[in-house]
Amino acid sequence: MRDRIAVFLLLFLQVLCAAVLVGGTLLTLLGIQHRPIDWEIRELLEIGAVLGLVFGALLSVIVLGRMLKRQKRAEEQLRQVSGAFMELMQTRFRDWGLTSAERDVALFAIKGLSTQEIAVLRGTAEGTVKAQTNAIYRKSGVSGRPQLLSLFIEDLMDDEMLPAPVPAPPPEPEEAVLRATG
């Protein structure tokens, strides 16, 4: 959120500075009558506008760099979570005793593909895929795709998979005394 505000403010600063630089020329080109300002003030405004544009460009590079680092970190975390999910699925598939074909079908089913799409991808008949999905549901102890998917979601939301909560900071000495006496 802070980065969005910073980008908005930088953009506003740069637009304002550009308006100062081209304002008089634009008014003249459009034929709008205006009272000219003293050249000393005009020079100071233009110097300030140029400095503002340079400052804005430098800050934009800094904000962009932070955003790119944050994006890279998020992508790495996503890769790690994706890897953990695949490991979890393979472990479950092994525990259930799924065949190689059933593992493929289960993976496609979890991804949300229809029976027909799975059959086309695997080069088999829809009846074969239906028989394999029924075997998967029986071996995993569920009655359908939603329950199959929920098994994995529950595992991912297990307390061991979630990051540890951050402990609350200890109370300040004055607060501890006030609580003890109050």
Per-residue pLDDT of the chain (182 residues; tens, 9 = 90+): 777 787 788 888 888 888 888 887 787 788 787 777 788 888 888 888 888 888 888 888 888 898 899 999 999 888 887 888 888 888 889 999 999 999 999 999 988 999 999 999 999 999 999 999 999 999 999 998 899 988 888 877 765 544 555 555 555 555 554 555 55
Instruction: Give residues with Cβ within 8 angstroms of 21, minimum separation 6.
Output: 46, 49, 50, 53
Look up residue 169 and give its two tokens: 């900071």
Instruction: Give the pLDDT score at 178.
Output: 52
Q: Cα–Cα distances in Å, from 89 out to 16, 29, 49, 103?
A: 55, 68, 58, 9
- Return the SS3 of 61: helix
Instruction: Give the pLDDT score at 10.
Output: 80
For the chain, which residues make up each domain, given as ranges?
2-77, 97-156
- Write the class of the CATH domain 97-156: mainly alpha
